[in-house]
Amino acid sequence: MQIVVDLTRCQGYAQCVFLAPEVFQLHGEEALLYHPAVPAEQLERARQAAAACPVQAILLGEGVSAGGR
């Protein structure tokens, strides 16, 4: 499963970091790092993180891409 975070939307609320710390990490105030390929055992957490993101910046799916960025 692939994950893409639209970093132009992400406001660094860190809900995703809280819910899926193995997938998302915050570096500094607003720099979000994440693992684009989510391992199966992290999938449920990643889904919860996507649902919890206040700005819906997290896209989950097969073959999602950052749209050429």
Binding-site ranges for ligand SF4 (CB under 6 A): 5, 10-16, 24, 32, 53, 55, 57-58
Q: Which DSSP letter does residue 41 get?
A: G
Q: Which two tokens stand for residue 34?
A: 């994440």
Q: For ligand SF4, which is the closer residue by CB, 38 or 58?
A: 58
Q: How far is the CB of 53 from ligand SF4 (least distance, A)?
A: 3
- Closest CB 42 distance from ligand SF4, rounded Å: 15
Q: Tokens 């639209």 belong to which residue?
A: 6
Q: How far is the CB of 68 from ligand SF4 (least distance, A)?
A: 20
Between the CA atoms of 13, 15, 16 and 17, what dihedral angle is there, to the nearest 10 degrees? 80
